[in-house]
Structure 1
Amino acid sequence: MPEQSTPSIPSIPSMPSKLSTASTGSGGPDPSAPSRPPAAPAPPTRALRLLRAAGLVSNFDRFCIAPMLVLIAGPLGTGLSTMALAAGVYYLTYGLMQPAWGLASDRMGRIRVLRLSLAAGSLAAALSALAPNAPLLIVARALSGACFAACIPATLSHIGDVVPAERRQRPLTDLMTAFSLGTALGTVTAGVLAHYAGWRLVFALPALLAGYLWHALRHLPEPARRPSGSPLLAPFRVVLATPWMWYVMAVALLEGAVLLGFLTYLAPALEARGVPAPVAGAVSALYGVGAMACAQLVKKLVGRWSPTALIVAGGAQAGAAYALAAVSRSELALAVTALLLGTGWSFLHTTVQAWATAVTPAARATGVAMFGVSLYGGSALAGGLTAGAAGHHAYGGIFLAAALLTIPLTLAAAIGRARYRCSPAA
């Protein structure tokens, strides 16, 4: 595969004096240009709906187990700590398989890989629903995480392939909204369904939906790809040889810590004050509600606000959210925190995500996958570094640290995005 030429990171004094106010999350053209080439036709609405549905099912399957750990442990005759492994191995395989699926998507095609992962994920989720004991359930959840991990690089890269750069953030925002909806449904409804209808039904739902999507996607056309006569690991060589990709991955590492890692402490902070677990889970789920509610606003602002402005707005919301949580851990304060983190995610993450789809167009899915590895790696790093403080219920200090980290995150993302200009092939 030929190596894509990309710009190198310029020095600080060379900041361009004129930034495009109409550029989008992945780098639009300069408005001073005399003309703009005709926009490519938008992908079919049904195709976008199917891609969003795949993202929703993936996130539902990923987040549904957390509210059910106690409900599953009893019938399977095991302890909570053992059942927590079922959640842990899912996140581990989900993150580790990102590069593998990204590489496969670049070489085999987006839709082919997406259908393969959905078929395998459907079987793994069905095995989860039928698991007779804890060890088999842990294995089934590990397989589910490995399979559904393909939904991120495949769906994001498909949109990156078929939507022009100047219009890309709008469908990406819709995709992130579907991810957020899957998170909210997995967090809120799983516990209720498991309580009234049994936990096996919860795992059966993504199994059935993934099987349906495997069938429904069979007629979706594959985006045009370059010939795959290059070495197997050539996409990784393209990604790792691009300085801007390293920069974006560093931003993703910080973003994962701030917007995902510290987020997990909202519910434990409430439970430490005696708030019932269902209420604490519902408060945490407001994160997804905020992301979905704000997504339409972000879509309207794309093209009106520069990517830098969107990033600064998202960082400001995240910083305010954690500052409030550092001051008060009441139900109202943490509900507002969750909502602000969700709206901040819509502004900041969708802009950075759109940026990641443009940096290495010759190996787009692999680049998006490496972005995902950095994002989830940052989340895991934040959790590991703060585990001791969380064990002592020092949530005020944890949230204060998160608020302070939003400053370098916002500066790095905003300055980098302002300097970046995507290549014409993006």
Structure 2
Amino acid sequence: MLEKETIKFEKTVIVGIVTQNQNEEKLTEYLDELEFLTFTAGGEVVKRFSQKMERPNPKTFLGTGKMDEISHYVKEHDITTVIFDDELSPSQQKNISKILVECKVLDRTNLILDIFAQRAETSYARTQVELAQCQYLLPRLSGMWTHLERQKGGIGMRGPGETEIETDRRIVRDRISLLKEKIKVIDKQMSVQRGNRGAMVRVALVGYTNVGKSTLMNVISKSEVFVENKLFATLDTTVRKVVIKNLPFLLSDTVGFIRKLPTQLVDSFKSTLDEVREADLLLHVVDISHPDFEEHIASVNQILQDIKSGDKPTIMVFNKIDAYKHLTIDHDDLITEKTSKHYTLEEWKSTWMSKMGEDKALFISAVNKENFEEFREKVYEAVREIHITRFPYNKFLYPDYHEAPDEKEVSEE
């Protein structure tokens, strides 16, 4: 009880726009996610602002009238932070900061970077996050510190030389180079570690953030990976050795993906994503209780394509079936049109099993271990199939191993 009283959330408003490519329903979904991101970062959203526009205003993202409305609200309600759902250009952020002088102005990318900075536990994760932050910061230096725009004059400052803003840019560029070199060294070390794991089959848990990957990891491997109902609870990849029916394989839990994932993070978390690239099998975990889970699947698949891992063998694991609630509709009501949002769990099963194949779609609850034996069996069969191609004669997979015609030749090798 005392802990709740000591937590102080920043009063925040969030902002988005309705465009030709993003209708009101889609904006609501994005702002819901942005509000969860804000909560994860330590903010409390007290109001949402939106505006219909053909395209964002190149100067202030929103129209003048809407910006004035936000400015008045910020002053009257002591708002400390305004967060925009889309990434702001350096000039937009600079111009908006001049209007909203009383508070911090952030965009979605900045917010995600801040959450990553909070969550980074290891030296490697902190290095990756700092690199992404520096790459984001570099083009925005002039807008963040307006006093750096003017070159100082007076004694000792005349003649050729750098302006303060150029000096700061050079410092940030040097820092980026240093961090990249540091990451290269760690990447080599991690590559060696992956190489030292031998020829064991590698399985990677992938999926949208907060879908239950770490919970599933704990249940399968009987380990204690950090779990929390917040976004990006896991940043560092955790690898565990798992054995099912005497068949060992390596299971890795990776960082969760998200819509509009900043490109800086994809670049700086290259080595973490290498666990996905080098995996033999992907377990794509989905929170089926989330109303936008199909869009989450599409976002994850797009990122997998971007990192050239979209064609790997994959099992879709629909998690949180215990939390799934479908809308009950009156089938006699001719006005109500039944859409995918009204599907029962059985209808989703038939949909995805026909789309992926019965052996490629699973429906479980990691928390309640519901359908968990079926999950273990499917994973075992998939790993076994890969294992057979790698080790044609294996006594764990073939009870009649001793009868293999080339056993002597194989064992001598």
Considering the TM-score relative to the shorter chain, is it more than 0.5?
Answer: no
The structure with higher relative contact order (CA 8 Å, sep 6+) is 1
TM-score (norm 2): 0.23
Greater Rg over alpha carbons, structure: 2
Normalised by the length of structure 1, the TM-score is: 0.23
Q: Structure 1 or 2: larger helix share?
A: 1
Structure with greater strand share of residues: 2
